[in-house]
Structure 1
Amino acid sequence: MYIPTLDDMLAAHDRIAPHIHRTPVLTSQYLNDLTGAELFFKCENLQKAGAFKARGASNAVFGLTDEQAARGVATHSSGNHGTCLSYAAGRRGIPCTVVMPRTAPQAKKDAVRGYGGRIVECEPSTTSREAVFAQLIAETGAEFVHPYNDPRVIAGQATCSREFIEQVDGLEAMVAPIGGGGMISGTCLTLSNLAPHIKIYAAEPEQADDAYRSFKAGHIIADDAPVTIADGLKVPLKDLTWHFVKNHVTDILTASEAEIIDAMLMTWKRMKIVIEPSCAVPLATIIKNKHLFAGKRVGVIITGGNVDLDQLPWQTK
């Protein structure tokens, strides 16, 4: 298992610069007053392809040799990684195939196809996803770019935190969502090297809390098909991301479905930006655990904004 290093992050930062946005950091006095903390929101919902995963996908795609690239790339994804890999592959002019759950939001399927990606559908479980994908790779010989358990992807995601600490001085804590752990691992990679005093918190839905249970147990516990509104956080940790979580994360905090929806709606109303349910989990956990963050300067990574506008959760709450 190759563990990406600070040098990998720095190389990724240079490699992907032409293909991504340096996303803005926003604040909200209302949310500061509500939580008693100074919150700074890194808006990866405004990233290329609408999600932070453009970073890792671009690093993987543009790091391929010409021979590897000629065979194309493939992945399995509930949406954003597939969209971002299709985006990056399109920029390089190579084919991309994405195995997606048939239940994935239509907006995310449309986005993959919009960037030129080809979709192969599977059942909404990790077992089905990996079985269908294994057959695809055997048939195509494409380069597998894992959504999160890939050193190239983690090094790319790590560039987000590098930008963040350049944009905001004096951060004392960082909160980001956790599913498979790609963003958290990248956050750990950067902060453990460049700002080790910053405490790293992962935020997870109560109904998909396998990372929380893994963290408490000291080993990976994987759920096959959890059900949560936070569709981007349903996948389990793997060996590479677990390495970063167990060594660098301060704690994993959870939020209920209702708390996630409330935080998502609050962000839309107060900050006037579109974020996904998965991205609302950090704010939900901060509101729920005010005592951990009160009086501190807290970075919050908003990971994506690819929302199905015909299926907003508060409309059916």
Structure 2
Amino acid sequence: MLSIQDIRDAATRLQGQVLDTPCVESRTLSDIVGAQVFLKFENLQFTASFKERGACNKLTLLTPAERARGVVAMSAGNHAQGVAYHAQRLGLRAVIVMPRFTPGVKVERTRGFGAEVVLHGDTLEEARAHAYHLADTEGLVFVHPYDDEAVAAGQGTLGLEMLQAVPDLDTLVIAVGGGGLIAGVATAAKALRPDIEVIGVQTARFPAMVNAIKGTHHPQGTSTIAEGIAVGTPGTLTQEVVKRLVDDLVLVDEGDIEQAVLMLLEIEKTLVEGAGAAGLAALLRYPERFAGKKVGLVLCGGNIDPLLLAAIIERGMVRSGRLARIKVSARDIPGVLARITATVADAGANIEEVHHQRAFTMLAAQNVEIELVLQTRGQSHVAQVLEALRGAGMEAALM
């Protein structure tokens, strides 16, 4: 059974091999959510994820015979990079099995750490089965991403660091996929501070641990922007620890995670992936349950696809009104487009796109419908732009 001593021993092994990342207060986020928020910046690890801790601890515990054989792991992301990087540092052969759909940037980054990457299967389950097959046929040691005591002990070291940095935390809010991180952190935190509250967060699209612990039957989705915690079946070992030590598990929606990613980028100037924003997403969704508390969040990873990040930023701008789409109807006469753009400019908005529509409209033949995508200062500014257009004799509405 995973113990505080396992985690302390792991912390000793990891000294000088992984970063003791900062754990500092965010005053702005604290003001927004109504709780005192402390952030543990695990996205600053060399591979931009806490997964390094568990991988490194597991690899350093291998016997000389196991080291000679090499290791195999299954992962589409952070665990792959953590195993590959530390195997390279320790001079071990590493084989990483990834599903065929894995983004090329993750494949190349894992190869860049010296691992042999095998693309197999269309799902994580198929990739995992092939990794076990390679372990059997080639004599490799399988390094599980979460259901392993040595891996969970490594992850738990960040819990020790958080309580060393901020001893009087009331609550820890931890993202949950397979459960390795929360199992390690809860074991460390409850041993040091039995009264501390540990709350796990899952995306509503992948509620496997919630269903397993609470006996619920929330349906499982097929995709999420928090792919780092998109686990279909929680670990056996980790599930047992969660049952004993975790106070509650909550679900957040995709929109909550998107908002949290964007807030961390804008306010803290730090880049996190979807899973890394899950803790803040929980505070945004359930502010009343954390009000007035001293809360520790783990920014557990920062590996996000640039195109996904661009989409999140753009969608966030739409939600806040800083990017708005409006429809303007006017008489189709020379100079009308110039009048519209001049009115928008005078109101202080910037035009990003213009769609000039004559044929596909229900307006009278002598009228024109123009769609504009505007960059504005927010919802109230959009209202001012619409009022200016109406004042200039045009029909204008938000789309």
TM surpasses 0.5? yes
For residues 147 and 266 of structure 1, do their structure 2 counterparts lie closer, same or farther at Cα, with a shift above 3 Å needed?
A: same
Query: Any conservation in 2 of the 1:43–1:301 contact (CA below 8 Å)?
Result: yes
Letter in 2 for 1:81: H
Query: Any conservation in 2 of the 1:42–1:299 contact (CA below 8 Å)?
Result: yes
Give the aligned CA root-mean-square deviation in angstroms. Answer: 1.8
Question: Matched residues in 2 for 1:117 and 1:247: separation?
Answer: 37
Which residue of structure 2 aligns with residue 291 of structure 1?
288
Deviation at 1:234, TM superposition (A): 1.2
Runs of 4+ in 1 over 6 A off after TM superposition: 221-225
For residues 110 and 138 of structure 1, do their structure 2 counterparts lie closer, same or farther at Cα, with a shift above 3 Å needed?
A: same
Which residue of structure 1 aligns with residue 206 of structure 2?
208
**Greater helix proportion:** 1
Normalised by the size of structure 1, how large is the TM-score?
Answer: 0.94
Which residue of structure 2 aligns with residue 229 of structure 1?
225
- Return the index of the structure with the highest Cα Rg: 2
Question: Matched residues in 2 for 1:223 and 1:84: separation?
Answer: 31
The aligned runs of 1:1-317 (5 Å cut-off) are 3-217=1-215, 226-235=222-231, 236-312=233-309, 313-314=311-312, 317=315
The Cα offsets for residues 58-98 of structure 1, whole Å up to 9 and x where unpaired, read as 10111111111011111111210110001110110111111
Deviation at 1:10, TM superposition (A): 1.2
Deviation at 1:108, TM superposition (A): 2.4
Instruction: Give 5+ residue unaligned stretches, structure 1.
Output: none
Relative to structure 2, which stretch is displaced further, 20-29 or 75-84? Answer: 20-29
Question: Matched residues in 2 for 1:165 and 1:172: separation?
Answer: 10
More relative contact order in 1 or in 2 (CA 8 Å, sep 6+)? 1
Letter in 2 for 1:110: E
Aligned-pair identity in percent equals 34
Relative to structure 2, which stretch is displaced further, 9-18 or 146-155? Answer: 9-18
Query: Any conservation in 2 of the 1:78–1:104 contact (CA below 8 Å)?
Result: yes
For residues 52 and 123 of structure 1, do their structure 2 counterparts lie closer, same or farther at Cα, with a shift above 3 Å needed?
A: same
Normalised by the size of structure 2, how large is the TM-score?
Answer: 0.75
Deviation at 1:316, TM superposition (A): 6.9
Which residue of structure 1 aligns with residue 332 of structure 2?
none
Question: Matched residues in 2 for 1:137 and 1:192: separation?
Answer: 35
Question: Matched residues in 2 for 1:244 and 1:226: separation?
Answer: 27
Letter in 2 for 1:250: D
Query: Any conservation in 2 of the 1:222–1:237 contact (CA below 8 Å)?
Result: no
